Amino acid sequence: MPVISSTQSSSIHSSLFATGPIRLSFILVTFSLFAFTRAEHTQAHADQPPNTANPAVVETYKLEDLGELSPISQDVTVSLNQDGTVAYWTRTNGSVYAMLWRSGKATRIEQMPGYPNMIPHAINRQGDIAGWMNTSGNLVDSLSTTRGFVRHRKRIRIVTGLGGRDSRIFGLNDKGSAVGAATLADGTRHAFVISGSKIADLGTLPFGKSSTAYAINNSGLIAGSSDVDAKANHAVSWSNLKIVDLGTLPKGIVSSARSVNDRGQIVGFSDTPDGVHAFLYSDGVMQDLGTLGSDPSEASGINNHSEVVGASNITGTRRHAFLWRDGQIKDLNVFLPGGSSWILLDAFSINDRGQIACSARRKGEPSHLLLLTPQH
């Protein structure tokens, strides 16, 4: 995806809904812009706390600061399991290390020989983690080899992929099944699932060439995206290796699914005539979750109580983390303790206890990773 500076967003937004192929190109650029700003964890106006008072709600959050969260790329996120263990990363002396945060203590995962960077992307209830490693000290080195990995009981399994040079794992369930994407020998990219010792190519929608699997629940339902043709991709699910096109929000062209819970509910984002919006797909219906005031918005995680987290612009290029529940989208910043100077930018993951992993900033400081725990 192209990298675009945040100063370009207003011109992109104003042209987003032109007709024909131009419209599609601007939709794809807007997706790239939103993903890139997530990765950068920066905000033109994020140094000022939101002008809102804490409402009369049943809970606020205890905040734990896990330290600085260095930007990597648009497809790197933070994962949280049901007991509150966080899988994330830290950058030290030019290398990226996988980290685990459990009960207030950070543990660095030992690197594999020949792989100077190790990026976790998923964690399950047992504390197994999965993600990818690469063979170059430069994360964006086009000549390096990227390999997915699964770490189970301190033993690391390297995933060679589907015959190409690169593989990445994005999702992991409690049974140890993992999903991701890998290149084929011809360079195209396909979603895959690993169950036990077997890896299966999940293929694409008809007429599509590439696909990616981002999440898998404990029943084996997989969520991701696939090309529908050379011009667009759709959110999809896989069950028993069969692919289903989830479509888009009304009058949309492009969508992607990013997370799935054990009830089979799927979240992600889709374009609409009003911009790019987060969605919840449940019982065959894709629901628009709206925004915090301005597009784009994107849903990143969902728990088994149907609570959804993600990020949305509030005005212009100002972005805040959100929580959607009981039919309403809320700015997570309004739930912070009184006097907090943090600005919550992106909510990555939520567990069934209501804990949320978020990126945040304070005035004059780099982005940090916070763990939010509900206080009833």
User: CA 10, CA 33: separation in Å to the nearest integer?
Assistant: 11
Structure confidence at residue 94 (pLDDT): 80
Between the alpha carbon of residue 13 and those of residues 107, 180, 275, 286, the distances in Å are 42, 31, 8, 23
SS3 342: coil
**Predicted confidence (pLDDT) per residue in 132-170, tens digit:** 999 887 766 666 799 999 999 989 999 999 999 999 999
- Sorted by where each begins, the domain ranges of the chain are 6-375
182 near 192, Cβ under 8 Å? Answer: yes
User: CA 185, CA 6: separation in Å to the nearest integer?
Assistant: 36
Full-prediction pTM beyond 0.95? Answer: no
Structure confidence at residue 93 (pLDDT): 82
Structure confidence at residue 10 (pLDDT): 29
Structure confidence at residue 67 (pLDDT): 95
For 6-375, CATH gives: 2.130.10.150
Type of residue numbered 348: F
Structure confidence at residue 77 (pLDDT): 84
Phi, then psi, of 81 in degrees rounded to 5: -100, -175
pLDDT less than 70: residues of the chain:
1-58, 72-75, 139-143
Structure confidence at residue 6 (pLDDT): 29
User: CA 236, CA 254: separation in Å to the nearest integer?
Assistant: 11
Structure confidence at residue 209 (pLDDT): 97
Structure confidence at residue 142 (pLDDT): 62
Between the alpha carbon of residue 57 and those of residues 7, 50, 61, 280, 376, the distances in Å are 36, 17, 11, 24, 9
Structure confidence at residue 74 (pLDDT): 58
Structure confidence at residue 92 (pLDDT): 85
